[in-house]
Homo-oligomer: A and B are copies of this chain.
């Protein structure tokens, strides 16, 4: 269980030192000769010169007749000139103009006579409508300088100039080595402890999107010699190597030793989070990057440390990152010792671009998928407060963010279906939803951070839903409450109901492990209310403090056997094949602020709610009642 101490070198310095070391080692691009027609998007290795002129002969630029300009001099509207058959030659666009002719007259400008002669009413200027040799490209001229990206029209210009093959920068080949005894190839029925290998697929897709090629090697178990052999092979076969996992200081850390034995390790440990245990090494001129096993850490390390090497290899200026100012919806606390990369979800509400920090667990790859931007917290900064204006590196284009419906509040799987329908109906519209519970949604609307909030809040005085909360939290009445669905709430229990749970109060029975929802969620308020009604002492309910954020994650705990019962909605129980004991039907509605009402996103949201497709979809999920969804619920 011993572990070696890691360095904590600032990222910028690590990058600069790594570049310097690799330069000394001779790191740089290979080139290759390829057919020009395959060269689009590739980068020229050297300047390209035309071999022949284009046009390579004097060509007619029009459909018409070739003449000697002298023969036409004096022709006007009033003094037309007639040319005999032997004085003109009919030609089409592109036909060669004979050496003894020096002008072309367009077919539209001639009158054909019955004897075969033609009459013209304007003199031809010498060389008119003739494409002279080299008009497009001259032999010997530089068509493209070195290190330029080849465009479709450049391909045309090169072929026109007689260039059929060019030397281009070869795509660097990145070898990716997954390691770990617990890592198995992707499948649909892993055993406990198995970890599906997907980092290789992520890194491979990333480097390909940056213009490199990728080879993912077979998974190597945690055996020093086998890892060393595979790294050695990859370094021989590829231009850069990613050695995945094993770069932390844990029990089976062989990466640094392997790289050290094969070449050298510059740094093991970078002052960045996630990604601290990264290893910067090389074998000769081949960079070998040790990358942590957690996918989010790995993505950040590959982006921050490998991409600059690929950009440098490819000799094109890296596409500059896009940044935007955004308002942080929740505080971000960061360690002083690290530069931190915080994934944020973003959206425009009115003119304000909001950024909400996503889960910071480095194992949560879906958080990266949902991220619209990265908030980079510099080393030495403790973080930012909620409401702070921060600079965010954009992963989604601003155009998309402007067209994104931001939904924050209580979670329901139907929101994902709404997102799907909305985007299917209008591919320019998107929806992002965050699950913070009904009260969280109300607060987000009050702070102007969302276009809509899912809400199912029970008034424990009169048993009504939502309306009284509108009056309380939006006294100015500047929101609308929009009817969505009725939802069956109940207890989810294992299939076959082994503990024979029959009614709500059974959650307090001996031996029942309960799993709860987070405070502020509508389901939690309902649960607390039911406990009070039934006079249950919540501190005596095992697991009452164990909080999950969504219905599905509650269901997942029950399926796995780590809990026996939890309140949730029917659709979640159905998805997981759980038994379900109905408790009550609640009203799940949407709160929409007036300022968002006329946006294209909200209009489409209302249209979707009112559609037959929505009704059919929701009823097929089960556990819902649907009555006039999309209508505005009167608040008085």
CB of A36, distance to nearest CB on chain B (Å):
7
Query: Residue-by-residue, is A398-427 near B (CB-CB < 8 Å gives 1, otherwise 0)?
Result: 011001000000000100110110011001
Is A316 an interface residue, CB under 8 A from the partner? yes
Q: Which residue of B51, B205, B420 is within 8 Å of A155 (Cβ)?
A: B205
Residue of B whose beta carbon sits closest to that of A550 = B138
CB of A571, distance to nearest CB on chain B (Å):
9
Q: Do residues A134 and B552 form an inter-chain contact, with CB atoms below 8 A?
A: yes
Given A40-B205, A201-B155, A424-B147, A192 and B93 contact (CB-CB distance below 8 Å): no
Residue of A206, A250, A299, A427 contacting most chain B CB atoms (<10 Å): A427
Q: Which residue of B320, B364, B400, B572 is within 8 Å of A135 (Cβ)?
A: B364
Residue of B whose beta carbon sits closest to that of A125 = B545
Q: Do residues B557 and A193 form an inter-chain contact, with CB atoms below 8 A?
A: no
Q: Do residues A201 and B159 form an inter-chain contact, with CB atoms below 8 A?
A: yes
Q: Do residues B365 and A157 form an inter-chain contact, with CB atoms below 8 A?
A: yes
Q: Do residues A145 and B365 form an inter-chain contact, with CB atoms below 8 A?
A: no
Q: Which of A547-583 contact B (CB under 8 A)?
A: 548, 550, 552-553, 555-557, 559-562, 572, 575-576
CB of A89, distance to nearest CB on chain B (Å):
13
Given A1-B107, A182-B95, A553-B134, A156 and B562 contact (CB-CB distance below 8 Å): no
Residues of chain B lying within 8 A (CB to CB) of residue A364 = 135-136
Residue of B whose beta carbon sits closest to that of A102 = B562
Residues of chain B lying within 8 A (CB to CB) of residue A160 = 196, 198, 365-366
Given A420-B47, A560-B57, A562-B132, A202 and B142 contact (CB-CB distance below 8 Å): no
Residues of chain B lying within 8 A (CB to CB) of residue A363 = 55, 61, 131, 135-136
Q: Which of A261-304 contact B (CB under 8 A)?
A: 293-295, 299
Is A195 an interface residue, CB under 8 A from the partner? yes
Residues of chain B lying within 8 A (CB to CB) of residue A596 = none
A545 to B69, CA, bound (A): 14
Q: Which of A336-370 contact B (CB under 8 A)?
A: 361, 363-369
Residues of chain B lying within 8 A (CB to CB) of residue A256 = none
CB of A155, distance to nearest CB on chain B (Å):
5
Is A112 an interface residue, CB under 8 A from the partner? yes
Query: Residue-by-residue, is A362-388 near B (CB-CB < 8 Å gives 1, otherwise 0)?
Result: 011111110100000000000000000
Is A84 an interface residue, CB under 8 A from the partner? no
Given A252-B92, A427-B315, A145 and B193 contact (CB-CB distance below 8 Å): no
Q: Which residue of B138, B252, B299 is within 8 Å of A553 (Cβ)?
A: B138
Residue of B whose beta carbon sits closest to that of A198 = B159
Is A428 an interface residue, CB under 8 A from the partner? yes
Residue of B whose beta carbon sits closest to that of A515 = B132
Residues of chain B lying within 8 A (CB to CB) of residue A201 = 36-37, 152, 155-156, 159
Is A497 an interface residue, CB under 8 A from the partner? no
Q: Which residue of B53, B63, B562 is within 8 Å of A99 (Cβ)?
A: B562
Is A307 an interface residue, CB under 8 A from the partner? no
Is A634 an interface residue, CB under 8 A from the partner? no
Residues of chain B lying within 8 A (CB to CB) of residue A186 = 36-37, 159, 164
Residues of chain B lying within 8 A (CB to CB) of residue A197 = 159
Q: Do residues B146 and A552 form an inter-chain contact, with CB atoms below 8 A?
A: no
CB of A535, distance to nearest CB on chain B (Å):
26
Q: Do residues A152 and B206 form an inter-chain contact, with CB atoms below 8 A?
A: yes
Given A155-B198, A155-B205, A317-B427, A193 and B96 contact (CB-CB distance below 8 Å): yes
Known: A61-B363, A143-B369; 7 extra A-B contacts, CB below 8 A, are: A40-B205, A92-B252, A134-B557, A141-B552, A147-B423, A153-B299, A157-B369
Q: Which residues of A contact B (CB under 8 A)?
A: 1, 3, 36-37, 40-41, 47, 51-58, 61, 63, 90, 92-96, 99, 107, 112, 126-127, 131-148, 151-157, 159-160, 162, 164, 180, 182, 186-190, 192-199, 201-206, 208-209, 248-252, 293-295, 299, 315-317, 320, 361, 363-369, 371, 399-400, 403, 413, 416-417, 419-420, 423-424, 427-428, 545-546, 548, 550, 552-553, 555-557, 559-562, 572, 575-576
Nearest 4 Cβ contacts at the A-B interface? A134-B556, A140-B575, A40-B205, A159-B198
